[in-house]
Amino acid sequence: MFTGIVEARGKIRAMEPVGGFLRLSLATEMDLSNVKVGDSISVDGACLTVIEVDRDGRGFGADVSPETMRVTTLRGMRPGDDVNLELAMRLDARLGGHLVLGHVDCVGRVVDNRRSGNGRLMGFQVDSGRYLIEKGSVAVDGVSLTVNEVRENRFWVMIIPHTGMVTGLIGKKIGDPVNIEYDMIGKYVEKFLLMRDTGSGVTKKTLREHGFM
């Protein structure tokens, strides 16, 4: 689990098909001293498992599953591309953004990117706006953002100068793809309401099945 607060940028060094998976090698200045094989790192919003760490701590490797390739922008990346990185959150740390699972829901497209004061107003088109609410949270390429406006399948966010500087979002062009993860609370609420409408209701069993007990 992550917070959507990007810790560093990384650069893809190599990409290699291995047994149906895509093996990524990434370079980064992020502190990897406490990272070990099996740990999770968010790469542009996609949760990947570390399979190796460079001896000098300047990079790591991770495998991308066929499903992750299908639903994220990682399938279209090339060596030399930059990505946002975040280590898995600690339960005893401050939650600066919002709860982000690293499970990308869809690939969105940039539809607006313009200056607004010292920041940038950016708009994105997604597959559905049903999980988006104004002043709610959304993760774009692993970045926790507050939704300013929603119009059907489009939403807008304000990128402050600091966020623009450390994430690379403001460099996106119209039509560029981005990874979108909706706020998981909305998805759980929707499912529980559907269960209520079908007469299933919320019981100890359903809470246990969904990890709440």
DSSP for 17-39 reads: EETTEEEEEEEE-S--TT--TT-
Rounded to 5°, the CA angle 143-145-148 comes to 155
pLDDT for the residue 203: 62
DSSP 57-115: SSEEEEEE-HHHHHHSGGGG--TT-EEEEEEPPPTTS---S--B-S---EEEEEEEEEE
pLDDT tens per residue, range 49-95: 999 999 999 999 999 999 999 999 999 999 999 999 999 998 777 77
pLDDT (0 to 100) of residue 187:
78
**Entry pTM:** 0.87
Pairwise CA distance, residues 97 & 58, whole Å = 26
Instruction: Let me know if residue 144 belongs to a domain.
Output: yes
pLDDT at 197: 61
The H or E element containing residue 209 is helix 204-209
DSSP 133-146: -TT-EEEETTEEEE
Number of domains forming the structure of the chain: 2
Structure tokens at 84: 């946002």
Which CATH number characterizes residue 154's domain? 2.40.30.20
In a domain, 213, yes or no: no
**Does 197 fall in a domain?**
no
**Residue 78 and residue 110 in one domain:** no
The answer to whether position 59 is within a domain reads: yes
Among 87, 119, 140, which residue terminates a domain?
A: 87
Q: Tell me: do 120 and 167 sit in the same domain.
A: yes
> Does residue 35 fall inside a structural domain?
yes
* pLDDT < 50 regions, the chain: none
Name, in order, each residue with C-beta under 8 angstroms of 19's C-beta and a sequence gap of 6 or more. Answer: none
Q: 131 in a domain, yes or no?
A: yes
- Identify whether residues 140 and 80 lie together within a single domain: no
Both 75 and 143 in a single domain?
no
Residue 166: CB partners within 8 Å, gap ≥ 6?
Answer: 6, 9
> Same domain for 124 and 155?
yes
- Domain extent at residue 171: 106-187
Burial (Cβ within 10 Å: 0-12, 13-18, ≥19) of residue 171: exposed
What local confidence, expressed as pLDDT, does residue 212 receive?
Answer: 62
Q: What was the pLDDT predicted at 96?
A: 79
If asked whether residues 143 and 182 sit together in one domain, one would say yes
3-state secondary structure of 197: helix
Q: Looking at the domain assignment, is residue 177 inside a domain?
A: yes
Q: Is 138 inside a domain boundary?
A: yes
